[in-house]
Amino acid sequence: MTKVANCLLLTFVSFFMVFSFTGCDLSTSSGAISPEDLDQALQESLAGLENQATAAKSSSSSSSSSSSSSSGGGSGGFLWKPVSESNGKLVILLPGSLRGKVSGCSISGSFGSETGSFAGDTHNGRRPHYRFSKSGGSYGSNIRVTARTTSGTKTWTVPNGSSRHTE
């Protein structure tokens, strides 16, 4: 059983025990609830939770397997991540379709310009990652991101450097 199912079962059993030991009557308009009825209701609830967990798991696996070819959002497309987990600084993930075709990535705006350091393209949907020297919020607003590719340049505009942005 999953942790959620175990917690739910423990909660139901705890409530049942409290009601039983305090003399409370668990009844409905059709009469008292028997332990067998309670057990059946618990089993049905747990089966429903397990089905939902399985469906969510298979849904996320199918979406992540198709996301690497996606052109939008944080699931395969452009992602401006203002604060990375690794060092707290800006990281830009370019669309997976640009993997192996990018010679560099730079940003420009009211702060001037900066060229990012290539940090690999084997994670997060096999997207090219470029890291920068400061957190995204330090670059202000209306930041232009330019990727130099084998077929020219691709650009994006990030309206607010401190907010996560996807396209």
9-31 pLDDT tens trace = 566 555 555 445 555 554 444 45
DSSP state for residue 48 in the 8-state scheme? H
Cα separation, 79 vs 98, whole angstroms: 13
Last residue of a domain, one of 20, 39, 67: 67
Closest by Cα among 116, 124, 106 to 64: 124
Q: How far apart are CA 161 and CA 87, in angstroms?
A: 17
pTM over 0.85? The answer is: no
The CATH number of residue 80's host domain is 2.60.40
Q: Are residues 77 and 62 in the same domain?
A: no
Q: Is the distance from CB of 155 to CB of 145 less than 8 angstroms?
A: yes
Whether residue 62 is found in the same domain as residue 97: no
47-85: pLDDT as tens digits: 555 555 555 554 444 433 333 333 344 568 999 999 999
Q: Measured between alpha carbons, how far is 44 from 39 in angstroms, rounded to an integer?
A: 9
